[in-house]
Chains A and B, each alone.
Chain A
Amino acid sequence: MTLSTPLPLFGALVDSAAWPALRIILHLAFFAAAVIILWRIWTRLAGAKARPGQTLQLFGALPLAVVAAAFLGVLLYQASWHLTGLFRPEFVAFMQSHDRREFNPAHRIQRGRILDRHGQVLAESQERDGRVYRVYPYGPAFAHTVGYSDPRFGAIGAEAAANAQLNGATPEALASWGELGRQLLTKDKRPRGQDLKLTLDAELQLLALQRLGSRHGAVVLLRPADGALLVLANNPAFDPNRLSPGLFSGPAAGTPLLNRATQGLYPPGSVFKVVLAAAAIESGFSGTLPCPAGGYTTSSRYPPIRDHDYYTAAKAGRTWGGHGNLNLTTALVESSNVFFAQLGVRLGHDSFVGAGERFQFDRQVRLYPGTDRYGNLSTGRLPRFARNDLYGLAQASIGQGRVLATPGHLATIAAAVANQGLAMRPRLLAQEAPAPLGRYMAEPTAARLAEMLRKVVTTGTGRGIDGPQLAIAGKTGTAQNPRGAAHSWFIGFAPAAAPTLAVAVLVEHGGYGSSAAAPIARDLLLKAMELENAR
């Protein structure tokens, strides 16, 4: 066939350096040809109109006008996406997360930086070889909170929650919108978004991670008065600079994607006694309960619940005489399981469920604006037992059994005690106004509980972290779990007299709360106070 000669020629032309320019010329020529056809038709029709008997009558003009108006309406509406789609923040966010067309201008927006409270850069866009990349200078340290924004994998965390602002598209700033639209139309400019400031403190976050070391766990530090989160640290984490499909497929070792601080559900162990103590004070409980070494059980069929002193003594080959009669304060200071198991049963199911509701268990608290469920803080899970299941209630009362809570929620509980019983909604964006989350307990209850928690650190299970520099109040926890050694917990606040910081530390399989979690909390609180006093 004769076609066989021109085709290789054409192929060579396409492969040559002239093709990109030629392509544009062809493109324009195509448009020009279409316009010429339309022009010819137009002149022909305009000429025909002059003929008698061919004018459009009412029956012709009106429908044509209606159809033309409909076409015009569709085209105008289309233009509001097609040309000025940038005016629709949700649309731009969708394209950045879900559009795999690499030539889409939405991918070339130079997003604003994400900063910590002192202006340290946690995420920024850098241009290399005409393409814009998102860079996270601290690597995995802020991975869960800052999140990531990637053309292949979408966006999560603050990157997703403040997408519109980071793209520069806050609807209030109409002038900058126009500029961005103009730049996007020309397709080769790099529009710049607006910066986003978080409440986090990079220095404290790094300290928390450094103290966690290779151990898995989570650290949360916040200001009780306004809910601003200073630290939200998780280990392990992933590196948002190096996302790969493997990260998202299948169960990875250590589940680095899990935001342990906000989504990790752990048995709270003894730190849950704070909730029960609050319920006891509010119900008017006073007096003492007997706490023998033999422990406490609701039925002879179930093994007794004992204090950890019993096991320590047994391990050392000693015998332990038991605590004797304990009141609420001494029981909390000694972290007596026997006392709180009895107390829970005595208060009853209704009181337990009521406390769970007041402390907002089984809820999702939003950390960012927007509705992304991955950005929420899960509070925890309280079991529902049958009314005759007293043993379950006894176990739940010491934070074991089926009680689960996230480190983030336990931090807000500590913060509520520090803030006269009022829990503030934890927040990450500096621009968001503080808002109350709920009243967890009455003011006098909080005051009494705060005194007790201070005693835990001065004379009780937490005395290991007591020091002259800072008056810390808090509660240790050692949570039994089926997967290995006990989880180590500490929740608390400082300074005890006028708290400005609240903390929750979880070290997975860290053993005693006093030995693993409490020292991290102390170091973090000391450093935070030091930074606060320095500024």
Chain B
Amino acid sequence: MNAAAGLAATWDLRQGERELLLSCLGCIALGFVLVLGSEHAAGRQLTASAVLPLLIYGLSLIGLHLALVLLRFRGDQVLTAVVACLAGFGLLAQYRMGAFAGTLGVDNPELYLIPAGFAAMLLTAAAGANGRYRWLAKGLWLWAGVSLVLLVVLLVTGTRFRGAVYALGFTTPTEVLKITVILGLAAYLEQHARALARWHPRFPLLPPLRALWPLLVFWMLLLGLLALQRDLGMIVILSVTLLVVLVRATGRVGYLGYGLLAAAGVGALVLTFFAHGQRRVEAWLDPFQDPTGDGWQILQGLSGMYAGGLWGEGFGNGSPEYTPIARSDFIYAVIGEELGFLGCVLVALFFLILVQRGIMIAGQARTDFGRLLAAGLTTVLAVQTLLNLGGVTKAIPLTGITLPFISHGGASLLTTFTAVGLLLAISDGPPGAARRPARTVKRPPAAGATPPPAPAPAPRPVERPARPRRRPAAAKTP
């Protein structure tokens, strides 16, 4: 009886999510009819399997919601709706680009990408809910090790294509780094945040190297391996995330300064020594220098957007096939062409809400690990989105990364869904607390947990003898 009451309470609690998911389904269905109509108008035969993607998408949404209710999940409701909308846009865009064309019908693996994503998200959220995600912090060295080993294995066994490295079947397992590295980072910073916040008292520009060096060494290895794979996008995403999380954990803006310095140095290095990077920057600064070569892709994307204008041609009525690699990296240009500038603004707003939810979840998490993990994952999503949008619109150089939820690519899709699953798990709140809405939960630990003003830590006396030695030197200088 108690269980049934809890279920009913959750059903009521998640009414908002239900409404949002249903409007989302309606919106995507409208777009789907539009795409189907233009497919038919273009002379393609419609069979019953043409409706399968929408059907499966709708069933996934319903299944997701029911499962969350059954699990009595208390976590964020807007986040699931936003992800459902973005994935729906992705479905329409991929359908429009011919992902479900052909005679495969129910055997088409493309059909099950989005449901698989939802499943991954749900499983992650369920597994990590009720504060269980904190166990992930114990795997600090596992995450670091897995990340590096994955990169090495990929370098040894992978195949190069268009400069980047791919594993078997053109998958990009490095996408997983967006989770494992952030997990490791959050775990490390949770343990060492205090030490990392204690910058040198006399030389305020000197960070605490003793606490920093394991992180630095790991990062050097990571960036080195990524540089070997020429995965510039991943380097930028992970490095920005490192800085954001470092500052978040320690409250020291100085790390940002060092990060910017390092970025400037590495950037200059790449530009002077790698012709590859130079060409990209040149194609970015002046695509008209070589409009039919280096500038072709970006200019075709922009041409499509320009042709789309304010309202767009309507889903299925543009000609995005003229833009190279439109299905993955340039899917935003497809949206710009078919839904116009307005469609782009809508997509950007959904992403902005996604980021807002992430930041909110990070702010409300009750543990340092949860805070840092949520902040890290949110930063990854935000930076990835901005890098893609900026690259396609020529605001920044192209980095060749996907747009979360919308671009084609199984590994990228699953990783992003899993990351959102982690965010959902963190948003579910602390363990033990009764299955009540989060707002009624007072913070009993807040008062008790504040550490009593500890007696002077033991190391201090050890440090002291060093000081007198420095003092005369300091006195001499003036």
A and B are partners in one complex rather than unrelated chains:
yes
Interface residues on A, range: 35 or more
- When distances are taken between beta carbons in the complex, the residues of chain A under 8 Å from B185 are none
Whether A100 and B382, one on each chain, are in contact in the complex, defined by CB atoms closer than 8 angstroms, is no
Whether B306 and A95, one on each chain, are in contact in the complex, defined by CB atoms closer than 8 angstroms, is yes
Whether B34 and A7, one on each chain, are in contact in the complex, defined by CB atoms closer than 8 angstroms, is no
Q: In angstroms, how far is the closest chain B Cβ from the Cβ of A57?
A: 6
Task: Map CB proximity to A onto B190-208 as digits: 1 under 8 Å, 0 otherwise.
Answer: 0000000000000000000
Task: Map CB proximity to B onto A88-108 as digits: 1 under 8 Å, 0 otherwise.
Answer: 001100110011111111100
- How far is it, in angstroms, between the C-alpha of A99 and the C-alpha of B292 when the chains are bound? 11
Whether A71 and B386, one on each chain, are in contact in the complex, defined by CB atoms closer than 8 angstroms, is yes
Whether B30 and A82, one on each chain, are in contact in the complex, defined by CB atoms closer than 8 angstroms, is no
| B419 CB-CB contact with A under 8 Å | no
The A-contacting residues of B in range 234-274, CB under 8 angstroms, are 244, 248
Task: Map CB proximity to A onto B5-20 as digits: 1 under 8 Å, 0 otherwise.
Answer: 0000000000010011
Point out which of B30, B41, B364 has the most chain A C-beta atoms below 10 A from its C-beta. Answer: B30
Q: Which residue of A lies closest to B33 (CB)?
A: A26
| B117 CB-CB contact with A under 8 Å | no
- How far is it, in angstroms, between the C-alpha of A29 and the C-alpha of B389 when the chains are bound? 25
- How far is it, in angstroms, between the C-alpha of A85 and the C-alpha of B439 when the chains are bound? 49
- How far is it, in angstroms, between the C-alpha of A350 and the C-alpha of B337 when the chains are bound? 62
Whether B310 and A83, one on each chain, are in contact in the complex, defined by CB atoms closer than 8 angstroms, is yes
- When distances are taken between beta carbons in the complex, the residues of chain B under 8 Å from A4 are 48
Q: Which residue of B lies closest to A51 (CB)?
A: B439
Whether B363 and A59, one on each chain, are in contact in the complex, defined by CB atoms closer than 8 angstroms, is yes
Whether B19 and A40, one on each chain, are in contact in the complex, defined by CB atoms closer than 8 angstroms, is yes
| A497 CB-CB contact with B under 8 Å | no
Contact of B34 among A23, A73, A100, A101 (CB under 8 A): A23
- How far is it, in angstroms, between the C-alpha of A44 and the C-alpha of B47 when the chains are bound? 40
Whether B353 and A41, one on each chain, are in contact in the complex, defined by CB atoms closer than 8 angstroms, is yes
Whether B439 and A75, one on each chain, are in contact in the complex, defined by CB atoms closer than 8 angstroms, is no
Given A10-B40, A44-B78, A74-B386: A27 touches B310 (CB 8 Å cut-off): no
Contact of B41 among A19, A45, A101 (CB under 8 A): A19
Q: Which residue of A lies closest to B356 (CB)?
A: A64
- When distances are taken between beta carbons in the complex, the residues of chain B under 8 Å from A95 are 303, 306-307
- When distances are taken between beta carbons in the complex, the residues of chain A under 8 Å from B41 are 14-15, 19
- When distances are taken between beta carbons in the complex, the residues of chain A under 8 Å from B390 are 74
Interface stretch, picked from B65-73, B132-140, B159-167, B341-349, is B341-349
The A-contacting residues of B in range 272-317, CB under 8 angstroms, are 288, 291-292, 296, 299-300, 302-315, 317
Q: Which residue of B lies closest to A76 (CB)?
A: B395
Q: In angstroms, how far is the closest chain B Cβ from the Cβ of A398?
A: 43
Whether A105 and B439, one on each chain, are in contact in the complex, defined by CB atoms closer than 8 angstroms, is no
- When distances are taken between beta carbons in the complex, the residues of chain A under 8 Å from B50 are 7
Whether A81 and B305, one on each chain, are in contact in the complex, defined by CB atoms closer than 8 angstroms, is yes
Q: In angstroms, how far is the closest chain A Cβ from the Cβ of B22?
A: 10
- When distances are taken between beta carbons in the complex, the residues of chain B under 8 Å from A98 are 291-292, 296, 299-300, 303
Q: Which residue of B lies closest to A47 (CB)?
A: B16
Task: Map CB proximity to A onto B344-365 as digits: 1 under 8 Å, 0 otherwise.
Answer: 1110111111011001101110
| B393 CB-CB contact with A under 8 Å | yes
Contact of A79 among B38, B341, B439 (CB under 8 A): B341
Task: Map CB proximity to B onto A175-206 as digits: 1 under 8 Å, 0 otherwise.
Answer: 00000000011010000000000000000000
- When distances are taken between beta carbons in the complex, the residues of chain B under 8 Å from A74 are 348, 386, 389-390, 393, 395
Q: In angstroms, how far is the closest chain B Cβ from the Cβ of A126?
A: 23
Whether B359 and A64, one on each chain, are in contact in the complex, defined by CB atoms closer than 8 angstroms, is yes
Contact of A77 among B350, B353, B362, B393 (CB under 8 A): B393
| B46 CB-CB contact with A under 8 Å | yes
Given A45-B356, A101-B318, A106-B306: A81 touches B394 (CB 8 Å cut-off): yes
Q: In angstroms, how far is the closest chain A Cβ from the Cβ of B343?
A: 8
| A248 CB-CB contact with B under 8 Å | no
- How far is it, in angstroms, between the C-alpha of A105 and the C-alpha of B342 when the chains are bound? 18
- When distances are taken between beta carbons in the complex, the residues of chain A under 8 Å from B145 are none
Q: In angstroms, how far is the closest chain A Cβ from the Cβ of B385?
A: 8
Whether B314 and A75, one on each chain, are in contact in the complex, defined by CB atoms closer than 8 angstroms, is no
Given A38-B349, A60-B362: A3 touches B292 (CB 8 Å cut-off): no
- When distances are taken between beta carbons in the complex, the residues of chain B under 8 Å from A19 are 37, 41
- When distances are taken between beta carbons in the complex, the residues of chain B under 8 Å from A24 are 314
Given A71-B352, A91-B302, A98-B303: A78 touches B364 (CB 8 Å cut-off): no
The B-contacting residues of A in range 6-24, CB under 8 angstroms, are 7, 10-11, 13-15, 19, 22-24
Whether B20 and A40, one on each chain, are in contact in the complex, defined by CB atoms closer than 8 angstroms, is yes
| B23 CB-CB contact with A under 8 Å | yes
Q: In angstroms, how far is the closest chain B Cβ from the Cβ of A80?
A: 9
Q: Which residue of B lies closest to A106 (CB)?
A: B306
Q: In angstroms, how far is the closest chain B Cβ from the Cβ of A184?
A: 8
- How far is it, in angstroms, between the C-alpha of A1 and the C-alpha of B288 when the chains are bound? 54
- How far is it, in angstroms, between the C-alpha of A22 and the C-alpha of B317 when the chains are bound? 14
Whether A1 and B19, one on each chain, are in contact in the complex, defined by CB atoms closer than 8 angstroms, is no
Given A19-B41, A24-B314: A57 touches B363 (CB 8 Å cut-off): yes
Task: Map CB proximity to B onto A18-59 as digits: 1 under 8 Å, 0 otherwise.
Answer: 010011101101110111111011001100000111101101
| A324 CB-CB contact with B under 8 Å | no
Whether B315 and A30, one on each chain, are in contact in the complex, defined by CB atoms closer than 8 angstroms, is yes
- How far is it, in angstroms, between the C-alpha of A77 and the C-alpha of B313 when the chains are bound? 21
Whether A82 and B336, one on each chain, are in contact in the complex, defined by CB atoms closer than 8 angstroms, is yes
| B81 CB-CB contact with A under 8 Å | yes
- How far is it, in angstroms, between the C-alpha of A90 and the C-alpha of B336 when the chains are bound? 20
| B319 CB-CB contact with A under 8 Å | yes
Whether A27 and B311, one on each chain, are in contact in the complex, defined by CB atoms closer than 8 angstroms, is yes
Contact of A103 among B26, B313, B363, B364 (CB under 8 A): B313
Given A37-B20, A38-B346, A82-B308: A104 touches B360 (CB 8 Å cut-off): no
| A251 CB-CB contact with B under 8 Å | no
Whether B394 and A54, one on each chain, are in contact in the complex, defined by CB atoms closer than 8 angstroms, is no
- How far is it, in angstroms, between the C-alpha of A56 and the C-alpha of B81 when the chains are bound? 21
Given A23-B314, A90-B288: A75 touches B344 (CB 8 Å cut-off): yes
- When distances are taken between beta carbons in the complex, the residues of chain B under 8 Å from A386 are none
Contact of A37 among B27, B244, B336, B343 (CB under 8 A): B27
Whether A81 and B393, one on each chain, are in contact in the complex, defined by CB atoms closer than 8 angstroms, is yes
- When distances are taken between beta carbons in the complex, the residues of chain B under 8 Å from A70 are 386
Whether B322 and A100, one on each chain, are in contact in the complex, defined by CB atoms closer than 8 angstroms, is yes
Q: Which residue of A lies closest to B320 (CB)?
A: A101
- When distances are taken between beta carbons in the complex, the residues of chain A under 8 Å from B364 are 53-54
| A67 CB-CB contact with B under 8 Å | yes
Given A37-B23, A53-B439, A104-B306: A94 touches B288 (CB 8 Å cut-off): yes
A-B contact pairs, 24 of them (CB 8 A): A15-B40, A19-B37, A23-B34, A23-B38, A26-B33, A27-B315, A30-B339, A31-B342, A36-B23, A40-B23, A41-B81, A51-B439, A56-B363, A67-B382, A71-B386, A75-B345, A91-B299, A94-B299, A95-B306, A99-B322, A100-B319, A100-B322, A103-B313, A105-B306
Chain B interface residues toward A at CB < 8 A: 16, 19-20, 23-24, 26-27, 30-31, 33-34, 36-38, 40-41, 46-48, 50-51, 78, 81-82, 85, 244, 248, 288, 291-292, 296, 299-300, 302-315, 317-319, 322, 336-337, 339-346, 348-353, 355-356, 359-360, 362-364, 382, 386, 389-390, 393-395, 439
Chain A interface residues toward B at CB < 8 A: 1, 3-4, 7, 10-11, 13-15, 19, 22-24, 26-27, 29-31, 33-38, 40-41, 44-45, 51-54, 56-57, 59-60, 63-64, 67-68, 70-71, 73-75, 77-79, 81-83, 85, 90-91, 94-95, 98-106, 184-185, 187
Q: A23-B38, A91-B299, A103-B307 are in contact. List 13 more A-B contacts (CB 8 A).
A: A3-B48, A15-B41, A37-B24, A38-B350, A41-B81, A60-B363, A64-B355, A71-B351, A74-B389, A95-B303, A95-B307, A99-B300, A101-B307
Give me the 10 closest cross-chain CB pairs, A-B, nearest first. Answer: A33-B27, A104-B307, A78-B393, A85-B306, A99-B303, A3-B48, A77-B395, A60-B363, A82-B305, A30-B30
